[in-house]
Amino acid sequence: MPEITLVSQNKSFGGWQKVFTHDSVELKCKMRFGVYLPPQTEQGPVPVIYWLSGLECTEANFIQKGAAQKYAAQYGVIIVAPDTSPRGLNIPGEDDDWDFGTGAGFYVDATNEPWKNNYRMYSYVTKELPALINEKFPAIPDRKSIAGHSMGGHGAFIAVLKNPGLYRSVSAMSPICNPINCPWGKKAFNGYLGGVEGDSKWKDWDSTELIKKYNGPQLDILIDQGTNDNFLTKSQLLPENLVAAAKESGVAVNLRLQEGYDHSYYFISTFIEDHIKHHAKYLKA
């Protein structure tokens, strides 16, 4: 297991918000991740919530703006917040657009050149990073949940739907729910996966498609969506498609439309306690 290097640490609500770097085997570059260690870790291991951020974000956005530390301390959970993509690889085109390449890994394992050797965020967040967290921190390995925002909501959903039983619970805010049918998703999948638009290769990374054939432990999916989210009106998120598919498959989805809220961290910080409480219910059961 590679070594980790402490970048920063700040005491918060009796615990510690820390940031580390390590050399990633999956991504073949140095990666940063944030870890909030609640005060309960001084007595022993506690459950973990993985938080996946959205387009353009780094690990810093959520840990500085998400207002999660207070509630992580209250409910006794570690929160792990990775970066959203590899960085500094000098791949041609990686910095050309804000919604593809750097800061926009889309939590898939790329199969297309030149991305396939480094852009393996799915394997990073579901395998490499949890193994690292379990070894280096006081985490209970079999008690983990996952959540995310926007592109990170997409990442959280596919992590759960492709790995039945691996996570205790899942939730998302403003998630990209049907990427094969939205502009962001089509751009990302065309670049990272190639193939024909909408083919089986794409459907394997789409939560609306995956939920149609989900066969695993009963899920209780929590989604918060702001009604003033401009990406909702631009058909980037499509939560209604996921809800319809889940209903047909018998998967429980609680979609809460939050009047007047947008896509920002003001929205995230307002409802983050509900999401941590949602996960704590299953992590502590």
Q: What is the pLDDT of residues 24-57, one digit of tens each?
A: 999 999 999 999 999 999 999 999 999 999 999 9
Burial class (CB in 10 A: 0-12, 13-18, 19+), 192: buried
Around Cβ 110, how many Cβ atoms within 10 Å? 22
pLDDT of residue 18: 98
Which secondary structure element, helix H or strand E, spans residue 226, and what is its range? strand 220-226
CB 201 within 8 A of CB 179: no
Task: Identify which of 179, 195, 190 has the alpha carbon closest to the alpha carbon of residue 238.
Answer: 179
Around Cβ 207, how many Cβ atoms within 10 Å? 30
Which secondary structure element, helix H or strand E, spans residue 170, and what is its range? strand 170-173
Around Cβ 213, how many Cβ atoms within 10 Å? 10
Rg over CA atoms, the chain: 17
The DSSP output letter for 97 is B
pLDDT of residue 197: 72
pLDDT of residue 2: 76
27 to 71, 78, 237: CA distances (angstroms)? 31, 24, 27
Order across the sheet with 78-82: list the strands: 4-12, 15-24, 29-37, 78-82, 46-52, 139-149, 170-173, 220-226, 252-258
67 to 144, 147, 246, 269: CA distances (angstroms)? 20, 15, 30, 5
Signed CA dihedral, 55, 58, 59, 61: sign only: negative
CATH fold for domain 4-284: Rossmann fold (3.40.50)
Burial class (CB in 10 A: 0-12, 13-18, 19+), 82: buried
Give SS3 for 281: helix
- The token duo for 266 is 């003001």
- Residues involved in catalysis: 150, 229, 263
Task: Identify which of 156, 160, 150, 37 has the alpha carbon closest to the alpha carbon of residue 103.
Answer: 150
pLDDT of residue 1: 67
Mean pLDDT of the chain: 97
Task: Identify which of 6, 8, 73 has the alpha carbon closest to the alpha carbon of residue 41.
Answer: 73
Give backbone dihedrals phi and psi of 181, rounded to 5 degrees, phi first: -120, 15
Long-range contacts of 197-206 (CB under 8 A, 24+ apart): 201/111, 204/162, 205/106, 205/108, 205/122, 205/158, 205/179, 206/158, 206/178, 206/179, 206/180
Which residue numbers in the chain have pLDDT < 70? 1, 198
